[in-house]
Amino acid sequence: MMDDYTLPFWIYLVVLSVFVGGAMKKILASHLTTAPPLVAWLGLACCLYSAVRTRTSPATLPVRGKAVFVTGCDSGFGKATAKQLDAMGFEVFATVLDLSADGARDLQRTCSTHLTLLQVDITQPQQVQQALLDTKAKLGPRGLWGLVNNAGVCVNFGDAELSLMSNYRGCMEVNFFGTLSITKSFLPLLRQARGRIVTISSPAGDQPFPCLAAYGASKAALNLFTDTLRHELEPWGVHVSTILPSSYKTGQASNHTYWEQQHKQLLQSLAPALLEDYGEDYMTETKELFQSHARQANPDLSPVIHTIVQALLSPQPQARYFAGPGIGLMYFIHRYFPFSLSNRFLQKLFMKKKLMPRALRKQSGFDLNLGLHNNNNNTDNAEEEKLKQL
C-alpha cells in the first residue's frame, strides 16, 4: 500500500517532466539562444519541487531523549545549529576551538543546561578521543542519535598554481582528515542508536569553482567518503546525509583583515618568477572579487539550519540536501548541460575576472604588434607588385 505522500510525489514528477521537456525543446529549437527563458523555466520547476517535497514530507521523529554532537560551534552554521537543537529539546554536545572566546560564551549564556561545550580541535586525535570519553560519560548506556560534521575551513584563495602546498594540506587536514577522525571515533555510538550523520559540505566539492582548488579538493574527498559511508552503514540502520549550502556569511567570510592577511602572505610566499608571470594586480583583483562575493553572501542561515534539523528528524532523510536559493538549478546545469556551457555558467556566477595573468597580457600585446607588422609588410609587398606590373 502506498504512503499518503507517494501519489503527490508522482504527480510532481509528471509536472516536472512537462517543464523539463518544454525547456529541452526550447534548447534544441533555438540553439541555446534563449538562456533567460530557460533559466526561468528551470527555476519554476525547482520551486515546484521544493514546494511539493515540503508538503508531502511525513511527520518528523520525536526529539525527546535524543543527543546530537555538533562540531565547529564557534560561529556560523555550527553555533546556530547548536542553539536551535538546544531550543528544540535535544541534548547537545557542541565543540569549539576556544572555551573563552565570544562564540563559546554566547552559547553558555543563551542555551540551557542540556548543552555541553567541549573544546576540540578536530585535527588533534587526543582532543577527539577526550571528547568521545566526555560524551560517553554524559550519555551513559545510551547511544548518540546524531553527528553534525560542520567544522571546516577555507584556507587562502587563488589559482591552483598560486595556492601554496600548505593551503592544500590545511584544507585537507580540517575538512577531510578532521571530519574523518570525528566520524570514525563516534561511529560505535551512532550505530548503537541507529542514528544519523549529517555532513556540511560544499558545491565546490562537486563543481570546478575558479580559484577554490584547495578547498574544493578537500570537499570532494569528503563527499566521496560520505557517499561511501552511506552505503556501508545502511545495514546498521544509520542514515548519512550531505548538505550543500549556497553562499552564506559564515566564519571568516566577512572578515576584511583576514583576507588581507591571507593575500599578503601569498604575495610574500610566491616564487619571484611565478609572481612575475601572474602579476600582483591579477592577484589583487582575485582578492577583491572574493571580498565582493563575501559581502553579497546571505546573512540568514535559517535555510541551512532547517535542513540540518530535517536530516536529523525525517523518518527517511535524503542522501543530499540543497540548502539555499539556486543550488538545485546549479546542479541541474552541471549535470545535464554540455561542459562548455556549465563551465561558462560557473565562471560568470562566481568569479567575473577582467584581468588576464601578466605574461598572457604581454604575449597578447606581442601577438598584436606582430600582426600589425605583418599586415604592413603585406601591404608594402602588394604595392611593390603593382609597381612592377606598371
Question: What are the backbone dihedrals phi and psi of residue 298, each rounded to the nearest 5 degrees, phi first?
Answer: -75, 125
Q: Give CA–CA dist 349/241, Å, rounded.
A: 26
Contacts 24+ apart (CB under 8 A), 261-267: 262/155, 262/156, 262/157, 262/287, 263/287, 265/156, 266/156, 266/158, 266/162, 266/164
| Catalytic one of 12, 49, 168, 215 | 215
CA distance 277 to 369: 20
Nearest to 103 by CA among 74, 81, 78, 77: 74
Amino acid at 68: V
Q: How many other β-carbons are positioned within 10 Å of the β-carbon of residue 326?
A: 15
| Cell numbers placing 289 | 572579487
In the sheet that holds 146-149, the strands lie side by side as 115-119, 91-96, 67-70, 146-149, 196-200, 239-245, 320-323
Q: Please, which residues have CB within 8 angstroms of residue 127's CB and are 6 or more apart in sequence?
A: 119, 120, 121
Locate the DSSP E strands across the chain: 67-70, 91-96, 115-119, 146-149, 196-200, 239-245, 320-323
Task: Answer yes or no: 278 catalytic.
Answer: no
β-pair type (91-96, 146-149): unpaired
97 three-state secondary structure: coil
Q: Which residues are catalytic?
A: 215
